[in-house]
Structure 1
């Protein structure tokens, strides 16, 4: 099955980061908002939250576009088992970075591929280990004013200035930290029948 087949490839996300990453695979695709409640369930582990939300996002769009191959993704930052979401505000971002100062944080990025018309649904998880430098309040403030990463889980953009806050990154799927693990995404798309280089 080729990428030029009659069905669509849809990214169930309005994130420009995920859109830019998926474009690297050189497949035509469209985007659609999944409209999924991202509230964690009581006692839900960060990795399980990421996997559930990625699948729910793909399924939500696939329900509207059953012939399409739909990609859903979600990222949850994990500080000692506690999920850290998108901060949304300067104050919450500063508090997140202060908590992560000198700590090791796991970033769980899940991807799911669904084609409802033939009952195809598979998902995968990439976990990135990130060690933060010790950050003082002035460093945190300078960074937040410069980059305003309020839409990023963990309040730091590793693809931008946020890299200067880090001591080390360990991953087997390097784009996972930005928001879409392309190695795993390509594997799932091949499993769904798409031809990739």
Structure 2
């Protein structure tokens, strides 16, 4: 697609983590909150849920900013096929980490890029396999009190103290676990016609 340096970039997310990740690309962008119901559909698999919500968020914001290139993203922790979202509360975070200890969890991180004006739409999934240590109850409690990761799917911040809870991480897009797979995002932005080098500041 021909380069479109005049198109503005919008991050369709209120996540501070995604905002910080996108800022690494040194691209000028604005942030818009997507109005999307994140309730899983009956029987919906975690990967399908993440893909659907990422695209729904991008489309919702693109409806308001039709001339812009819009990024939407979503992450769902996948424990043996069961979705784990953001715990929101301490008790739910405790329950999540207790369920995940000693287990392999796949963090399904989806990203979508939409531009209504050019009829562009792409989405992709960046799964991250994470092996949790066999955590004790006291360790879980200490971690949650220290980092309060109640706005993170799976109740752990791998970019912070949460890395101490893990045995291994296996993925092909290093920032996917934090919430926005930048390799895939850059690929889609180029496909949408955004010249990353011209836009970088």
Please state if 1:133 is matched with 2:127: no
Query: What's the secondary structure of 2:117's corresponding residue?
Result: helix
Matches within 5 A, 1:8-157: 8-157=8-157
What 5-or-longer segments of structure 1 have no aligned partner? none
The structure, 1 or 2, with the larger RCO (C-alpha pairs under 8 Å, 6+ apart) is 2
- 1: distance between equivalents of 2:196 and 2:45? 33
- Could you tell me which residue of structure 1 aligns to residue 161 of structure 2? 161
- Could you tell me which residue of structure 1 aligns to residue 195 of structure 2? 195
- Could you tell me which residue of structure 2 aligns to residue 175 of structure 1? 175
- 2: distance between equivalents of 1:41 and 1:180? 23
What 5-or-longer segments of structure 2 have no aligned partner? none
- 1: distance between equivalents of 2:103 and 2:64? 42
- 2: distance between equivalents of 1:89 and 1:162? 17
- 1: distance between equivalents of 2:112 and 2:82? 23
Size of the alignment, in residue pairs? 195
The offset of 1:2, in angstroms, is 5.2
| Structure 1 runs (4+) greater than 6 angstroms displaced | none
RMSD (Å), alpha carbons:
0.8
State the TM-score, normalizing by the size of structure 2. Answer: 0.96
The offset of 1:175, in angstroms, is 0.1
State the TM-score, normalizing by the size of structure 1. Answer: 0.97
- 1: distance between equivalents of 2:28 and 2:181? 18
The offset of 1:117, in angstroms, is 1.3
The offset of 1:196, in angstroms, is 2.4
Query: What's the secondary structure of 1:150's corresponding residue?
Result: coil
- 2: distance between equivalents of 1:174 and 1:9? 22
Query: What's the secondary structure of 1:39's corresponding residue?
Result: coil
Query: What's the secondary structure of 1:177's corresponding residue?
Result: helix
